[in-house]
Amino acid sequence: MLFLGKYKGEVAAGAIIIFWSDIAFYHQAASLKKFTKHSIPYLLQWQAIKEAKRRGCKTYDFWGFTNPEKFPRHPWAGPTLFKMGFGGYKKEFVKTQDLIISQKYWINYIIEKARKFWRGL
């Protein structure tokens, strides 16, 4: 389900939530910087959580976490702080794994390893 938040008629933020079984997954979200002071992403999440409850979901999975204290420069540090603002708890599942279907995969693998090294992660 796509959730859109508007401010004065302009779309300011959006979130894609996947509902499956009795779980709601926060899949992707974005917001425009010029609306930062209006906290629209928080309202979108609250609406998504309410929709999950309405559908009988037992879990709202924010999907993705890093320790912002240990890795403050990690790209997910900011989003993790946002997610932590809703309370809840950290629960680790099996890490994401790649299924290699092409030799071109290794190009991206090397680029991502280099980016991780340069960021000190």
34 residue type, one letter? K
Q: Please report the domains of the chain, with CATH numbers, ordered by start residue.
A: 2-95 (3.40.630.30)
Question: How many Å apart are CA 12 and CA 8, to the nearest integer?
Answer: 9
Read off the pLDDT of residues 38-82 as tens digits, 9 standing for 90 and up.
Answer: 889 889 989 999 999 999 999 988 877 788 888 888 887 887 887
List, in order, residues 6 or more apart from 114 with CB less than 8 Å away: none
Question: How many Å apart are CA 31 and CA 12, to the nearest integer?
Answer: 6
pTM: 0.68
